Amino acid sequence: MARNEEKAQSLLNRWTSMKQDFSDTFKNRRPYLASECDNLKDAERWRRQIIKEISKKVADIQNAGLGEHVIRDLNDEINKRIREKYHWEKRIIELNGSDYTRSQPSAYDADGTVVQGGGGYKYFGAAKNLPGVRELFEKEALPEPKRVREEMYKHIEPDYYGLREDDDAAMLEAEQAAETRLRKDAMEAWDKAEKERLAQVAALGVITQS
């Protein structure tokens, strides 16, 4: 009788232990949807976990010897984790936590270069050298179309030809003053040169006609 009780107690202990292990495993598993989490500390923890996963996969994808299919799968997983991180950051805001989206830095590769991508999809490491990917970022800039003569003359106004200069009284006054000053300077220079010439002639004893 006592032996049967011991067996029953042993089975009960094993069941309790298995139930606790199962509960702990489920408790430590990240929820599939961020909206299922109602605890701010847990949400922060899941976000940090995702960041670690992204960092590891970014380091792995630097190896170009993994093969095209593995590299493409890794790149897809990284982009998936980035989207998942964004959902957790939104959930953290909803739980009155920090807003990580406001100061979101640019995505950098393992070698420190800014990650390239089209739209919301990014390419990391060896994925940037996959067939069809490099061409996306090496498209030559289209040459600017040549301007036809009609377009060149379209925005030219009469000011370009000086047709409106007479309408500016201040400009006319300034031009007249400059013209008067130049004329005066020219006359003074001529008088000075003439006096010097006459002095030289007189010094040589040449009689000039008055």
Of 80-84, 197-201, 204-208, highest mean pLDDT: 80-84
State the Cα angle at 9 between 8 and 11, rounded to 5°. Answer: 65
| pLDDT at residue 109 in the model | 54
Q: In a 3-state reduction of DSSP, which class is residue 161? A: helix
Tens of pLDDT, residue by residue over 81-104, are: 999 999 999 999 999 999 988 866
Q: How distant, in Å, are the alpha carbons of 28, 31, 49 from that of 23?
A: 9, 14, 20
Q: What's the pLDDT band for 140 if we cut at 50, 70, 90? A: very low
Higher pLDDT, 189 or 170: 189
φ, ψ for residue 92, nearest 5 deg: -60, -40
pLDDT at 157 > cutoff 90: no
